[in-house]
Amino acid sequence: MAQSQRAGGAVEQPYQPVKKLFFGRDDAESDFADGLLRDGFQSTYASEAVLAGRKSLVVGRKGSGKSAICAHLMSGRYPGRAALITPDDAAGDEIRRFELQGLTADTAKSLIWRYVFAVHAAKHVTEHADAHRRWRAPASVRALKDFLQANGEGGDGRLTDRLRRGTRLLQSATLVVKMFGLEASFSAGGEPGANGGSEGARAMRQLDALEAGLRAAFEDLGCVAAQEKPFLILVDQLEQVWQGDSDSHPLITGLLLGAKHVVAAYGHAVRCVLFVRADIYDALNFADGDKFRSDEVRITWSPAALRGLACARAVLSLERPVTDEELWDGIFPRRVAGEWTPDYLVRRSLARPRDIIQFLTLCRDAADRSRRPTIHEDDVLEAAEQFSRWKLDDLAKEYNVGFPFLRPVFAQFENAGYAVDRNVFTARFDEIRDDLHERYSAYTEQLTATSVIDALYGIGFLGVRRGDGVVYAGDSQWPLQPYENDLRVHPCFRPALGCRTPTSSGDTVIAAGHQYQAPVVRVQSHTGFLRNVSTTDAGFQADRHVRLLEQTALALSRLRRQLARSGLPAEAHTEVREGIDLLDERIDALPLPGAGLTSDMVEDLIDNVTARLAVLHTRMKDLGFRDDPVTRRLADEAAALRRAVGGAVGGGGGSDSSG
């Protein structure tokens, strides 16, 4: 568009919205700093439910807007006070190492989270009392100040330091709880029936006393009244501490249990909201999982909501009103490849805010490079190619923990049709199966064509044709069934893979007009059970004997840590340490997975380990250390390993609740 001369002599500048158009950053923190998230936050059912206090567990895929809700609440949108907890690698390591003899790993981890929440709540209470002080603070508040000071929690500090202090205090049973002028110091040397018992029992009593004092302080300050806004604790970015191993499960389940306990401990005075990535939450398997159903809300985005997000950000960046019609039939072309542009963009993304922001930004950049004042169809098509490459790479990274084999599997779809028959894929997979088994030897039992297809469906890479349409994970509550053969690569990934047409030479697919019908015979999987529940989006677990070996090594590691903080005399300490060293040597002598390690070898090893631990347990009792935590831990770990060999292998791990 050329410049034109106005009647008054001024030169009218061409309409060039691309120069100012800006849709945002990839992460919520930067997006908030730029002002787009702060001023253009798109409310959803999930954000409204959290704000209203109806939901406390927000579950969503990477990029779905979990951190955006969190940042929005922390920005002042929540009318009460709020605190944000974002654990990093160092914090995760502290929690992983935390254990208490006499408690399962889940329960022990819940105690360290309860300690963190209690400290945040105590700091809130004391600051609230100082801000509204018109008289002398109640005794309960003064006791909390003394508690914070006595336990080194006076300043803000890093989460890792707080966890380290809490770990030391709870494991050593010297946490000083001073409430209402009464000081209760729980000592590791307490008598049974008083302050004695297992480490876990003593730690629980300490936390119960601390939480009772906090509840009293909330009541004294009137914070439990219904009209008062509860203190809000937000926990986000848990993917930073998730590694998908047996230590990661109790870390997250302990957090869930600790957050659930907040309601029972403090009533209306404190709320805890967790933001958890969907693949992490779906990987959890613990007994109390059904107790979180009413707290859970899944983030979903409709095409209309994503269009609204795009329009809102265009308004903010252009600093003037922008109608939906102007955006999609002026700034953007009305149609791309014969399809309405918003539908084209949404269908070729994974329907998440981050995807749409990145796709729109690529379109804008393509137009800007071409010196165009508005975005043309060619710009959108160019952006679609780059966006597809990004998303294919991002998908492999997002699910690398649960499915580390994705990249070589994706390669089997390159330059082929996007409509894939199950049998055709099985033939392709058989060609690389031996190589995958060698490269990912810990997963050989699960690396089958059927399991990989289920995984690809679970993460959204593949869809399945049902009736007149194609269904992708998230569109239907029904998982992929073994008799469903007409599979489709998601449109988002087709450009990156070169999947330009439905079929390629040699492929056989069901005709496009085929009507979906379930066969009369119910097909069973290789496990012998009907596949009616999908767990593939949670990730593959290592083969059973590999998990058992890992569990054995972790048991010995826990014993070493218990021994390191014990007060045993040198002779007894040396005897236990040498016994653990011998067992570690036997583990090291086993072949690696894929290099000859068998289930029989691992089960024989565990028999040897449990027998040796039983001998050490009896020896410690004979030496007069019947109630020592090390003695009890020896029995706990031996019992846990025996249960594991019997088939009860899970995330709970560690010790049991027997004293």
Average pLDDT for consecutive 10-residue bins of the chain (659 residues)?
46 70 78 67 91 94 91 89 94 92 92 96 88 73 88 82 89 62 45 58 89 90 78 95 87 96 91 94 85 93 93 91 94 96 95 93 95 96 97 93 92 95 94 92 90 93 92 79 94 96 59 35 27 45 87 92 90 94 93 85 93 94 91 92 70 44
Q: Output the six-digit token pair for 147.
A: 């508690």
For residue 102, what are the β-bridge partners? Answer: none
What is the rounded distance in angstroms from the CA atom of residue 540 to the CA atom of residue 129? Answer: 50
For 456-574, list the strands marked E by DSSP. 462-466, 469-472, 486-489
What is the rounded distance in angstroms from the CA atom of residue 626 to the CA atom of residue 617? Answer: 8
Q: Which burial class, exposed, middle or buried, applies to 293 when counting CB atoms under 10 A from its CB (0-12, 13-18, 19+)?
A: exposed
φ, ψ of residue 11 to 5 degrees: the values are -90, 125
DSSP alpha helix (H) spans, 399-522: 406-410, 422-439, 449-458, 494-497
Q: Which burial class, exposed, middle or buried, applies to 1 when counting CB atoms under 10 A from its CB (0-12, 13-18, 19+)?
A: exposed
Query: How far is residue 334 from each of residues 219, 230, 340, 343, 444, measured CA to CA in Å?
Result: 60, 48, 6, 11, 50
Evaluate whether 188 touches 202 at the Cβ level (below 8 Å). Answer: yes
What confidence score (pLDDT) does residue 34 get? Answer: 63
Q: Which residues contact 451 (CB under 8 A, 6 or more apart)?
A: 536, 540
Q: Output the six-digit token pair for 524.
A: 């069973």
What confidence score (pLDDT) does residue 639 get? Answer: 92
Query: How far is residue 305 from each of residues 71, 213, 334, 360, 364, measured CA to CA in Å?
Result: 19, 45, 19, 15, 20
For residue 339, what are the β-bridge partners? Answer: 336
What is the rounded distance in angstroms from the CA atom of residue 109 to the CA atom of residue 648? Answer: 20
Instruction: Break the chain into its structural domains and give their ranges.
Output: 32-298, 302-398, 406-538, 544-645
Q: Which burial class, exposed, middle or buried, applies to 90 when counting CB atoms under 10 A from its CB (0-12, 13-18, 19+)?
A: middle
Q: What is the pTM of this model?
A: 0.82
Side chain identity, residue 337: A
Query: How far is residue 224 from each of residues 176, 227, 268, 652, measured CA to CA in Å?
Result: 25, 8, 5, 34
Query: How far is residue 288 from each of residues 104, 111, 248, 306, 341, measured CA to CA in Å?
Result: 13, 16, 17, 35, 45
Q: Which residues contact 568 (CB under 8 A, 6 or more apart)?
A: 576, 625, 628, 630
For residue 183, what are the β-bridge partners? Answer: 178
